[in-house]
């Protein structure tokens, strides 16, 4: 690949932002499983597998799964964030494959947030705080 | 002299397969003359051979043209290197502060008791070796015991035997 | 594999099991068999699904329907409706989530809301293995700006302006470091990243490398450009395989995009970055040692100067910064140094990441603006101490740091302020320790760490740390000697002054700081052979026994109850405790707090078993002890301390007389603790046992009125003052002389004397301790309609026992938190109301609790006709004549002397119990009674040149050893209680005591920690 220039950087940024606006794309829901060493050690890999399985079993094409690092509160892991189009992200805590299945069925397919497993909604990266943009 | 050749005369290398020794030769060949390559070479060689006995250190010393004393010095300095064989399964008990505060010393004592070996040792059947580490950075799960590449968090002493039973 | 059309999952976790899930499971299996469905439907018992509060839980797949509170009788309906007809049973489904509004927003959770993310700005957001996602979040824009719009000097200037200091621990200004390296002549320079995060308990570098590796690379590009380096190394510990993997991917991707390599972003600047895998040596975190290690040598530090900025890696000018430092750089370049410097304190700018671990509720990574008080991090962000335990200290800065005690929780996170405490910021590992941590053991742990990691190059570090460990070890093993603490300090300062590198110079810090704040713990180990946190196992057999002030042999009497040998159990208890029946009811049970069973399920109900033995054992006959010694002893006060001392001295052959002002013996046990908690016959019986030994108790005899203190001193060879603390503290506010104002102790005493106490209808009690609860519950029983406790802090801060608080609430007592009285309002000399003020919680006080601060303008009036202040008590020392050689302290109590505080300033006059210690507990009073008796005896013998007392051999009681083969989680046996309706109108004992069966079952739960295997 050719060397990037600053213009290219900006283009990538715009492109990814556009793509990352999965809301505008074909994906209706994005699941982020938080997989730092801490998350993996508490079973995040299993959670990721569970979601993957559920997607393939249900043939849900509008759901995507991605991974990210630790969000900081290691004692509540495994954690996953579910973002639905146009809604606040929901962070689920202390996940187990069973809970993940329930979340998948009830929340991601059924649209009902499983409050009993929720840690919080929204994001700590909200602009109103002016941090992290 | 390559490791493969040396093995014909040095009984210390008898326990390694020809394949292992060939790999050792390859690692040394790839790093010859590179400054500062001793530690990466030792890391890779240990990966192949499981540990770094004197005979292997001699091979590295000659191969990289570094005095054996220096090689020995480095091997004994860093905790990552070991001169005793490792068991099939390596148990590492985290003695980092967070784990210690949450009772990992008790886990180590219990393991010493169950396995009949001290930290750094290897069971007679070479199934387990027992090591301690200083913080694996998984403090959120303290106390932590790592067996091979599985991290076991919030381990209770009473449950250790059950955990070990899975590794045979 | 067999295919089932549906799976029924029943939860078999502990929580659901306790609520009856196995019966549900059996019912499902049974139902499926009877309907012949076993071949189509699978039943699976799962592990805990975490929603234990709604157990037993059942989930049915493929739909994933979630049923809660399932009972066996619901099963046929579920099978019929759901499985056969496909209609989920609505009534059993989890409650429709009320509304998502009930879910807190991330920023409403203090853990997140109080943080400010710069170094961690991308955490949890981007996929670390996708460079595009990093770029989308302004990634590499900082590097682009630096490389295309700024000169290297401008970059350095910006970093200087930001005030950023090395986040690895040293705190050296980053911009300054860079400028030194820039000015050093040389064609070849190196930019190095220290990712050898060796400080145990710190994991922010790992997390950044795993979550956002490009941020570190970008920081290195900017740094490399600033100093003129074309080659960089990241020295990462081998223990972090995932970090290494993600870094490797990141470097490859950056190279592919031309963000690393030749002519970055089309500019003239080129940089290659390599990963160097560390081989495990803490000292390699030291910069010169790290450079030696990259050169393939043993990682030993080099003497400085020359500094790395002039002669670093391969003798070339080098800059080494830590991961977190680099991660801050791109933001500083993008947003400007002023932006960064606008956060933090005068000398510590920006934010700092802390790894919060140990005994806190929220373990994790925390990034806060510099200057945030440490207490805020632990209590607001960290959510306080696990299991409601007491905060003891936090270790900041790892093995090179020091501890932060409760009294320093207000300290801001600022490099210089923290150094003043004897700790260091270090890399930001903040390990919280609770009451179960022994500080001597902790110091030993860190010392061992440094000793093991000492590279051996310089003598102070290599040998000095060894000698320090030897001393710490012997202290922990109970072999400590007078002078050991001073010796430790001397060695520590020598090592600090003379070691070659940072590792050695800081190695003694944990020892010095624990001595500074927890000297009493060292002293307890050395002089009393006692580990207050019950950790140093060489000092004890079982934790419960060690935690007990009088060392009751708990496992022994547990074993004897299990063997149904109650009389022997009773004898074992009486060896150390003259009041087992009392303690079985009112002891605060220091033992259960350390009970190992508690780590498994619930701690043993030690006091309840004790009570069972005392209530049910056939008591051995007591013979009078012959008087064998000519000296006579007087004890003033027949409370637990005085009576214990009297008993012990009587057993040693002395003639002992106890003087008691009130009509009955028992002291505070009899006159402060209400009858519904401690029936009078229990006290009587145990006092009678002491009388039977030959102790004379003169009741209704007040010293200073019926007999003078000076006369007693003349008539007796030694005097033990054990008068307790029977005088309530005043509130010190307007209106305390009104009719209707009672001190709690005085109120309880009048009631317990059987006098008719005129209590009003509306009663307020002030305070949060057990006597406040006692006063409130007594007022309820006397017919008060409305009883309110006013407490100035929060419930979790109440010193009263939880079960007492709950019992009071059950009986209708209201508790107002964060409220304090400011004025008592009277009418015609009678109390009619109390004006109160609301409080908010401010800074931390010395006890580590937040200080209540009055809210101006929040005053309100409570209409009451009685108010009972129960804030504390002190000793009535009026029986001591003015000018006596028994000196008083500045609060009017009796001045104590000696390490054990059981001597007064006068020869031959001893002191024990609350009068010596201030308000404490029965068991602590007994302990003091024992110690004082020994001291009195030793005093008399020494005076007569007699050899010390020799304990007679005690009767051997064989203790059986029988334990369960397998330990099964079993909750503690419940205590039956009197019905509420009966409680409110009488002083009958509320707790009814264990049955034989319950006691036996409970005793079987003992893990027998005393056994030597």
pLDDT tens digits along C364-406: 889 999 999 999 999 999 989 988 889 999 999 888 899 999 9
Report how far apart the first and last C-alpha atoms of chain C are (Å, whole number): 47
A44 CB near a chain B CB, below 8 Å?
no
SS (H, E, C) C436-484: CCCHHHHHHHHHHHHHHHCCCCCHHHHHHHHHHHHHHHHHHCCCCCCCH
Residue A130: pLDDT above 60? Answer: no
pLDDT of residue C863: 94
Residue C759's pLDDT is 87
Please tell me the total number of residues recorded for chain B in this structure: 168
**Residue A119 distance to chain C (closest CA, Å):** 8
Which pLDDT does position C53 carry in this prediction?
Answer: 56
Contacts with B139 from chain A: Cβ below 8 Å = 74
ipTM over 0.85? The verdict is: no
C contacts of B139 (beta carbons < 8 Å): 201, 203, 355, 357-358, 363
The pLDDT of residue A84 is above 90: no
Confidence of residue B1 (pLDDT cuts 50, 70, 90): confident
Q: For A2, which DSSP code?
A: P
pLDDT of residue C97: 44
Chain B residues within 8 Å of chain A (Cβ atoms)? 136-141, 144, 151, 153
Return the DSSP state at C405.
E
Residue A23 has pLDDT above 80, yes or no: no
| Mutate which: C7, C59, C125, vs A, most A CBs within 10 A | C125
pLDDT value of position C216: 97
- CB-nearest to C112 from A5, A106, A124 is A124
The fold of the A27-121 domain, in CATH, is Glutaredoxin (3.40.30)
DSSP label at C79?
I
d(C-alpha C189, C-alpha C645), whole Å: 77
A54 — contact with chain B (CB < 8 Å)?
Answer: no
B3 and B59 in contact (C-beta within 8 Å)?
yes
Sheet harboring A90-92: ordered strands across? Answer: A63-68, A29-34, A80-84, A90-92, A118-121
Question: So what's the pLDDT on residue C792?
Answer: 94
Q: Are strands B128-133 and B89-94 parallel, antiparallel or unpaired?
A: parallel
What lies within 8 Å, CB to CB, of C300 at 6+ separation is C283, C289, C292, C455, C456, C457
Write the CA distances from C206 to B135, C377, C387, integer angstroms. 11, 21, 28
Band (A116; pLDDT cuts 50, 70, 90): confident
Integer Cα distance of C462 and C499 in angstroms:
9
* Regions of chain C where pLDDT drops below 50: 1, 96-98
Q: Distance (Å, rounded) from C-alpha C8 to C-alpha C70?
A: 13
| Interior angle at CA C797, CA C791 and CA C800, nearest 5 | 75
Residues 333-372 of C with CB under 8 A from B: 355, 357-359, 363-364
Q: How far is B151 from chain A (nearest CA, A)?
A: 5
Residue C758: helix, strand or coil by DSSP? coil
| pLDDT (0 to 100) of residue C408 | 94
Q: Is the peptide bond before C520 cis (omega within 30 degrees of 0)?
A: no
* Confidence (pLDDT) at C1007: 87
Q: Please name the chains neighbouring B, where neighbouring means 3+ C-beta pairs under 8 angstroms.
A: A, C
Q: Give me chain A's average pLDDT, please.
A: 81
Q: Do C123 and A72 touch (CB under 8 A)?
A: yes
Q: C364 φ, ψ to 5°?
A: 165, -165
Count of alpha carbons within 13 Å of C21, Cβ hemisphere only? 28
3-state secondary structure C856-886: CCCCEEEECCEEEECCCEECCCCCCCCCCCC
CA-CA-CA-CA torsion for C353, C357, C360, C363, nearest 10 degrees?
70
pTM of the model: 0.83
Query: What's the pLDDT score for residue C107?
Result: 78
Long-range own/partner contacts, residues C945-951 (CB < 8 A, 24 or more apart): C949/C652
Centre a 10 Å sphere on the Cβ of residue C929 and count the other Cβ atoms it contains: 29
Q: Please indicate if any CB of chain C lies within 8 Å of the CB of B163.
A: no
Q: pLDDT tens across B111-155, in order?
A: 999 999 999 888 988 899 998 887 776 777 788 898 987 888 888
Contact between C697 and C715 under an 8 Å Cβ cutoff? The reply is no
User: DSSP E strands: which ranges in C215-350?
Assistant: 231-237, 272-278, 318-322
Which of A124, A127, A128 would you mutate first to test chain C, the one with the most C CBs within 10 A?
A124
Give residues with Cβ within 8 angstroms of C545, minimum separation 6: C551, C552, C553, C554, C555, C591, C1010
What's the helix, strand, coil split of chain B in %, to 5? 50, 10, 40
């Amino acid at each position: 690949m050719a060397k990037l220039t600053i213009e290219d950087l900006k283009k990538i940024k715009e492109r990814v932002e556009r793509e990352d606006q999965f809301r505008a794309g074909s994906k209706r829901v994005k699941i982020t499983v938080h997989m730092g060493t801490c998350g993996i050690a508490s079973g995040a890999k299993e959670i990721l597998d569970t979601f993957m399985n559920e997607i393939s079993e249900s043939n849900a094409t509008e759901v995507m799964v991605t991974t990210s690092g630790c969000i900081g509160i290691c004692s509540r892991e495994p954690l996953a964030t579910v973002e639905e189009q146009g809604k606040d992200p929901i962070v689920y805590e202390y996940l187990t494959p069973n809970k993940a299945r329930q979340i998948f069925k009830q929340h991601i397919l059924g649209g009902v947030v499983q409050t009993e497993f929720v840690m919080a909604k929204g994001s700590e990266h909200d602009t109103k705080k002016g941090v992290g943009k | 002299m390559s490791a493969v050749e040396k093995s014909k005369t040095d009984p210390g290398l008898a326990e390694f397969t020809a394949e292992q020794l060939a790999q050792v030769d390859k690692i040394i060949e790839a790093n010859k003359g590179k400054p500062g390559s001793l530690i990466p070479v030792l890391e890779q060689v240990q990966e192949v051979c499981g540990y770094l006995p004197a005979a292997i250190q001699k091979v590295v010393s000659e191969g990289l043209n570094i005095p054996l004393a220096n090689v020995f010095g480095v091997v004994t300095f860093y905790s990552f290197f070991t001169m005793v064989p490792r068991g099939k399964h390596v148990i590492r008990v985290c003695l980092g502060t967070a784990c210690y505060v949450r009772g990992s010393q008790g886990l180590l004592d219990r393991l010493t008791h169950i396995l009949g070996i001290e930290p750094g040792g290897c069971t007679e059947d070479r199934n387990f070796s027992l090591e301690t580490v200083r913080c694996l950075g998984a403090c959120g799960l303290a106390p932590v015991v790592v067996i091979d590449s599985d991290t076991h968090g919030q381990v209770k002493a009473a449950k250790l035997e059950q955990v070990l039973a899975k590794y045979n | 594999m067999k295919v089932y059309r549906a799976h029924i999952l029943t939860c078999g976790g502990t929580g659901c099991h306790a609520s009856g899930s196995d019966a549900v499971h059996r019912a499902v299996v049974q139902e499926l068999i009877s309907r012949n469905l076993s071949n189509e439907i699978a039943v699976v018992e799962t592990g805990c699904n975490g929603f234990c509060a709604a157990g037993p839980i059942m989930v049915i797949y493929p739909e994933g329907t979630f049923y809660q509170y399932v009972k066996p009788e619901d099963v046929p309906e579920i099978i019929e409706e759901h499985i056969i007809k496909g209609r989920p049973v609505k009534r059993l489904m989890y409650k429709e989530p009320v509304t998502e509004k009930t879910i807190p927003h991330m920023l409403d959770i203090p853990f997140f809301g109080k943080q400010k993310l710069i170094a961690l700005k991308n955490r949890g957001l981007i996929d670390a293995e996708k460079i595009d996602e990093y770029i989308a979040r302004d990634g590499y824009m900082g590097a682009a700006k630096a490389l295309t719009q700024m000169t290297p000097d401008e970059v350095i200037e910006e970093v200087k302006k930001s005030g950023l200091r090395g986040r690895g621990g040293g705190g050296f200004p980053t911009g300054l470091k860079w400028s030194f390296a820039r000015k050093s002549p040389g064609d070849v320079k190196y930019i190095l990243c220290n990712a050898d995060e060796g400080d145990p308990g710190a994991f922010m570098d790992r997390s950044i490398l795993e979550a956002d590796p490009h941020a570190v690379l970008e920081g290195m590009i900017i740094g490399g450009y600033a100093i003129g380096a074309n080659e960089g190394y990241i020295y990462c510990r081998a223990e972090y395989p995932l970090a290494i993997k993600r870094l490797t991917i990141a470097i490859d991707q950056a190279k592919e995009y031309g963000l690393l390599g030749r002519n970055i972003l089309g500019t003239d600047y080129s940089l290659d970055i390599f990963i160097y895998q560390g081989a495990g040596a803490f000292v390699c975190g030291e910069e010169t040692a790290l450079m030696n290690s990259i050169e393939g040598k043993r990682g030993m530090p080099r003497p400085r100067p020359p500094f790395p900025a002039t002669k670093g890696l391969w003798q070339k000018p080098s800059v080494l910064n830590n991961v977190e430092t680099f991660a801050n750089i791109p933001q500083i370049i993008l947003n400007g140094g002023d932006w960064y410097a606008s956060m933090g304190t005068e000398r510590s700018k920006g934010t700092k990441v802390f790894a919060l671990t140990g005994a806190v509720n929220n373990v994790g990574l925390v990034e806060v603006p510099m200057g945030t008080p440490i207490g805020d991090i632990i209590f607001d962000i960290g959510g306080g101490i696990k299991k409601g335990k007491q905060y003891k200290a936090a270790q900041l800065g790892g093995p090179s740091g020091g501890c932060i005690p409760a009294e320093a929780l207000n300290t801001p996170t600022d490099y210089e302020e923290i150094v003043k405490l004897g700790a260091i910021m270090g890399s930001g590992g903040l390990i919280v320790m609770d009451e179960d941590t022994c500080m001597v053991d902790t110091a030993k742990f860190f010392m061992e760490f440094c000793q093991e990691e000492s590279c051996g190059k310089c003598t102070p570090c290599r040998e000095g740390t060894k000698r320090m460990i030897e001393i710490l070890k012997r202290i922990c093993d109970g072999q400590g000697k007078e002078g050991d603490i001073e010796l430790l300090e001397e060695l520590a300062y020598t090592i600090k002054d003379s070691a070659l590198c940072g590792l050695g110079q800081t190695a003694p810090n944990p020892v010095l700081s624990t001595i500074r704040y927890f000297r009493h713990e060292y002293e307890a180990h050395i002089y009393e052979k006692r580990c207050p946190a019950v950790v140093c196992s060489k000092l004890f057999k079982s934790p419960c026994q060690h935690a007990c002030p009088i060392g009751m042999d708990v496992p022994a009497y547990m074993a004897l109850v299990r063997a149904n040998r109650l009389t022997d159990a009773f004898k074992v208890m009486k060896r150390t405790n003259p009041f087992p029946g009392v303690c079985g009811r009112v002891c605060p049970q220091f033992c259960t707090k350390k009970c190992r069973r508690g780590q498994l399920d619930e701690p043993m109900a030690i006091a309840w078993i004790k009570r069972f033995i005392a209530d049910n054992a056939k008591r051995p006959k007591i013979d009078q002890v012959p008087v064998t010694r000519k000296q006579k002893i007087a004890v003033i006060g027949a409370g637990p301390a005085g009576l214990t001392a009297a008993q012990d001295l009587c057993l040693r052959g002395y003639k002992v007389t106890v003087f008691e002002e009130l009509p009955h013996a028992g002291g505070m046990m009899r006159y402060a603790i209400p009858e519904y908690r401690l029936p009078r016959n229990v006290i009587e019986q145990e006092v009678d046992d002491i009388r039977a030994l030959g102790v004379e108790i003169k009741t209704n005899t007040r010293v200073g009125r019926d007999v003078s203190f000076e006369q007693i001193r003349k008539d007796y060879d030694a005097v033990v003052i054990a008068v307790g603390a029977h005088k309530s503290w005043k509130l010190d506010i307007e209106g305390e002389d009104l009719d209707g104002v009672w001190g709690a102790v005085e109120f309880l005493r009048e009631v317990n004397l059987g006098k008719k106490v005129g209590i009003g209808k509306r009663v307020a009690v002030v305070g949060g301790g057990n006597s406040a609860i006692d006063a409130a519950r007594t007022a309820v029983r006397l017919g008060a309609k409305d009883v309110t406790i006013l407490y100035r802090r929060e419930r979790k801060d109440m010193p009263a026992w939880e079960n007492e608080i709950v019992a009071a609430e059950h009986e209708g007592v209201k508790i107002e938190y964060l409220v304090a009285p400011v004025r008592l309002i009277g009418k015609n000399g009678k109390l009619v109301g109390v004006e109160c003020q609301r409080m908010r919680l401010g800074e931390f006080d010395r006890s580590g609790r937040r200080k209540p601060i009055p809210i101006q303008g929040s005053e309100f009036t409570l209409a009451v006709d009685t108010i009972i202040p129960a804030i504390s008590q002190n000793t009535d020392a009026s029986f001591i004549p003015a000018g006596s050689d028994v000196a008083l302290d500045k609060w009017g109590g009796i001045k104590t002397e000696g390490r054990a505080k059981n001597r007064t300033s006068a020869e031959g006059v001893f002191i024990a119990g609350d009068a010596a210690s201030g308000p404490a507990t029965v068991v602590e009073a007994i302990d003091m009674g024992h110690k004082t008796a020994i001291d009195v005896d030793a005093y008399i013998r020494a005076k007569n040149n007699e050899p010390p007392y020799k304990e007679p051999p005690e009767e051997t009681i064989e203790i059986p050893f029988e334990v369960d083969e397998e330990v099964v989680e079993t909750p503690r046996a419940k205590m039956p209680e009197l019905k509420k309706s009966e409680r409110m109108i009488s002083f009958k004992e509320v707790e009814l005591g264990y049955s034989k069966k319950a006691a036996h079952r409970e005793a079987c739960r003992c893990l027998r920690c005393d056994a030597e295997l």
